[in-house]
Amino acid sequence: MCDTVVALPPATRSKSVLFAKSADCEVNEANAIVPIPRAKHVKGEAVRITHLVIPQAEETYELFLTKAFWTYGCEIGVNEYGLAMGEEAVFTTEMPEENDGIIGPDLMRLGLERAKTCKEAIEVMTALLEQYGQGGGAELKGNSHFDSSFLMSDTSEAYILETAGRKWAVRKVEETASISNMLGIRADWTRCSLPAG
């Protein structure tokens, strides 16, 4: 099991944001702690993520992350603006496994690279999710496919973003929250991709 947890200032003695993650990586799947500098990119430039090539942002922010050696994305990361995020595998019936898409760790890194706040990250990540979908092998060994759940915080608030294929739901965190390897948002979502009604 993987777990990510956040506690916001009302729930912490130091009145600061606490954010942590545990990961159940495969044996011999090296995870490096990697600093990635801020960068400017040429308009029209592309970036190769784990299974796709997509348009690059004109600017990407400085990151400090933990990533598997074979993926573009990460298990946990924080950017220069204090936006922190953790990702967990969740299993649904929505993903078309025959198609390559953006795997959860890649989607998380793209959010961290392109957003300063949770709200911006949600916009970036849900737009990419709706455009490219999720898919492709998401584990070093075998051909495992899964959707993802994300917990993110910035310097003032936190959100949970859960995905199923190209569908998604968001819930704002009040004081504390955690995610694991199962969906947890029910009727208490703040926003979702499904039409009202």
Q: Is 91 exposed, middle or buried (0-12, 13-18, 19+ CB in 10 A)?
A: middle
Report yes or no on 22 lying in a domain: yes
Tell me the pLDDT band of 98, cut-offs 50, 70 and 90.
low
In this structure, how many other beta carbons lie within 10 angstroms of the beta carbon of residue 108?
Answer: 27
pLDDT over 90 at 126, yes or no? yes
pLDDT over 70 at 185, yes or no? yes
Q: Is 2 known to be catalytic?
A: yes
pTM above 0.85, yes or no: yes
Report yes or no on 18 lying in a domain: yes
CATH number at residue 117: 3.60.60.10
Report yes or no on 197 lying in a domain: no
Domain tally, the chain: 1
Sheet holding 3-7, edge to edge: 18-22, 3-7, 176-179
Task: Write out the H or E segment, with its range, that includes residue 130.
Answer: helix 118-132
Contacts of residue 195, defined as CB under 8 A and 6 or more positions apart, other chains included, come to none
Report yes or no on 152 lying in a domain: yes
Please identify which of the residues 2, 25, 74, 192 carries the catalytic annotation: 2
pLDDT digits (tens, 9 = 90+) for 133-169: 987 765 656 656 788 999 999 999 999 999 998 999 9
pLDDT over 60 at 97, yes or no? no
Task: Write out the H or E segment, with its range, that includes residue 5.
Answer: strand 3-7
Report yes or no on 35 lying in a domain: yes
Full residue range of the structural domain in which residue 188 is found: 3-192
pLDDT for 67 equals 87
pLDDT digits (tens, 9 = 90+) for 65-91: 998 888 899 989 999 999 999 999 898
pLDDT digits (tens, 9 = 90+) for 23-64: 776 666 777 899 999 999 999 999 999 999 999 999 999 999
